[in-house]
Amino acid sequence: MLSCGGKLIRITVPYPLLMVVGILLLNTLGGCSLPLYKESQLEEQAQLQFETMRASTPVSNDVVTNEYVTCVANAIIATLPPTYANREWDVVVFDSQSINAFAMPGGHIGVFTGILAVAENQDQLAAIIGHEVAHVTEHHALERTNREATTQLGVMGATLALGGGEETADLLQKGAQLGLSLPYGRKQESGADAVGLMYMADAGFDPRQSVALWTNMEKKATAAPPEFMSTHPSPDSRKLDLIGHWATALPRYNAARAAGKRPNCRF
């Protein structure tokens, strides 16, 4: 069933016509509205997932670690657009050796203690948190979710068009997962790097430390990359891109320092 022009259309055809219908479906996708998600729906789901994770993953009770991560996070949050800066963010430190961190719609930040062995100082941790928060402010999760919804309908139409059964559907689905359904697209990762760099600079963290962070990440990438790196651009290209943004980030960093923004988060 599709919604086209505000009307619901149910398609029921005998098998010999499936191939024709599949081709028509693919050709008319542009004129039909998909079951796309809204930001508010993602926020509700993010809240549930975050609470589930908090209940199932050990949370660090170390006071120093929690104060340190919260200090860096709050400094970043204060630089965000008002819609996000004025929100009460939930910052949780998970007691896990996983080298990872994340932010979720609705104001949730999770940092795994394992990443603190890679982020050697407050500036490097700010690069991580700034990057993850940028995914939220740039609506990357919403883009990813709606892209997946589009992908699923496209797979259905292509399967019909090819006249295939389970094997065709499986092949197309795997292709969709590889090409469209990565946790975040590489373009989104690069975008979050650029936006996150400005957030950390505006907060008074040294944006040059973002490159040092990725040098540390490379050292940890032995047989398999840390989870935080798994879907990101290669460290070398990433560092070059970050350096390319310094011309904008460093003046903002100097202005923030001149304005008295000098974070002193201790670990």
> What is the per-residue pLDDT for 247?
97
> What is the per-residue pLDDT for 227?
52
> What is the per-residue pLDDT for 146?
75
Active site residues: 132
- Asked if residues 207 and 201 have their Cβ atoms less than 8 Å apart, the reply is yes
Q: Calculate the CA 230 to chain-centre distance.
A: 12
Q: How far, in Å, CA of 29 to CA of 42, rounded? A: 24
Rg (CA), the chain: 22
Q: How far, in Å, CA of 261 to CA of 257, rounded? A: 5
> What is the per-residue pLDDT for 17?
38
Low-confidence ranges of the chain (pLDDT < 50): 1-35, 155, 158, 160-162, 167-169, 171-182
Break the chain into its structural domains and give their ranges.
Answer: 39-140+185-258
> What is the per-residue pLDDT for 181?
37
Q: What is the pLDDT of residues 139-195, one digit of tens each?
A: 988 887 777 666 655 545 545 444 555 544 453 333 333 333 346 778 888 999 999
Q: How far, in Å, CA of 48 to CA of 210, rounded? A: 32
DSSP label of 116: G
Q: How far, in Å, CA of 217 to CA of 246, rounded? A: 20
